[in-house]
A and B are shown apart, each in its own frame.
Chain A
Amino acid sequence: DVKVTQSSRYLVKRTGEKVFLECVQDMDHENMFWYRQDPGLGLRLIYFSYDVKMKEKGDIPEGYSVSREKKERFSLILESASTNQTSMYLCASSLRGLGEETQYFGPGTRLLVL
């Protein structure tokens, strides 16, 4: 079974702090994704990556950056956390293929920025 793990289930940070969210997958997937999920807004794509050291902006990249130094690990960075970044963050991975690939999700990190 594919396993996607996220470093924390719950996280509380203060405004202005630098925040790192880590995601690791164990199935050698090329694609990795970071979403945020907010009530009434569904899942919105922040960044994704097709390969090591490669990144693409999603729909809402502002205020975020990412890092993919190893194939299995995709990090989401909040350079200076703000209260409007309080949200549920979901990481996912998939094989690179012909567009039929299932995305496998981690359990999510619920981030509260005070």
Chain B
Amino acid sequence: SQQGEEDPQALSIQEGENATMNCSYKTSINNLQWYRQNSGRGLVHLILIRSNEREKHSGRLRVTLDTSKKSSSLLITASRAADTASYFCATDARGAQKLVFGQGTRLTINP
């Protein structure tokens, strides 16, 4: 079953603009992670936010978590062509070692 679902499924913006992606999930979590996947490659971890955190930053990335709404957002500021990729949120089931991934948002940055 899909725990995390990203929105939108696809996003196309101009270089330099900010990109926002959203993730919703269904059950209680310990943490939520965001991953990036370049075309035809494996996933790369970007950032993790714990259930007791509301916001986290890493470089041009800003992640928020609202556990009352069971949702998270990933903001990429000042986008670059190299940010073109698919972005996935992943949630853990409490007590489990495994993650459940959403379907991803395909982000295209136009030069």
Q: What residues of chain A have their CB less than 8 Å away from a CB belonging to chain B?
A: 4, 31, 33, 35, 40-43, 45, 48, 50, 58-59, 90, 92, 94, 96, 98-108, 110
Question: Is A107 a contact of B104 with CB atoms below 8 Å?
Answer: no
Distance between Cα atoms of A106 and B33 in the complex (Å) = 18
Distance between Cα atoms of A35 and B55 in the complex (Å) = 29
Q: Does B57 touch A at the CB level, under 8 Å?
A: no
Distance between Cα atoms of A20 and B30 in the complex (Å) = 34
Question: Is A45 a contact of B98 with CB atoms below 8 Å?
Answer: yes
Of B41, B95, B97, B98, the residue contacting A108 (CB under 8 A) is B41
Question: Is B97 a contact of A94 with CB atoms below 8 Å?
Answer: yes
**Given A41-B103, A58-B98, A103-B45, 14 further pairs, Cβ under 8 A:** A4-B42, A40-B103, A42-B2, A42-B103, A59-B1, A99-B92, A99-B96, A100-B31, A101-B97, A102-B33, A102-B45, A106-B42, A108-B40, A108-B42
Question: Is A42 a contact of B98 with CB atoms below 8 Å?
Answer: no
Task: Given A90-B42, A106-B42, A108-B41, answer yes or no on A100-B98 (Cβ-Cβ < 8 Å).
Answer: no
Distance between Cα atoms of A103 and B102 in the complex (Å) = 15
Q: Does B48 touch A at the CB level, under 8 Å?
A: yes
Closest Cβ neighbor of A42 among chain B residues: B103
Distance between Cα atoms of A31 and B1 in the complex (Å) = 21
Q: Can you offer 6 A-B residue contacts whose CB atoms are under 8 A?
A: A42-B103, A43-B101, A100-B50, A102-B45, A105-B35, A110-B40
Q: Does B25 touch A at the CB level, under 8 Å?
A: no
Closest Cβ neighbor of B104 among chain A residues: A42
Distance between Cα atoms of A59 and B41 in the complex (Å) = 22
Question: Is A99 a contact of B101 with CB atoms below 8 Å?
Answer: no
Q: Does B99 touch A at the CB level, under 8 Å?
A: yes
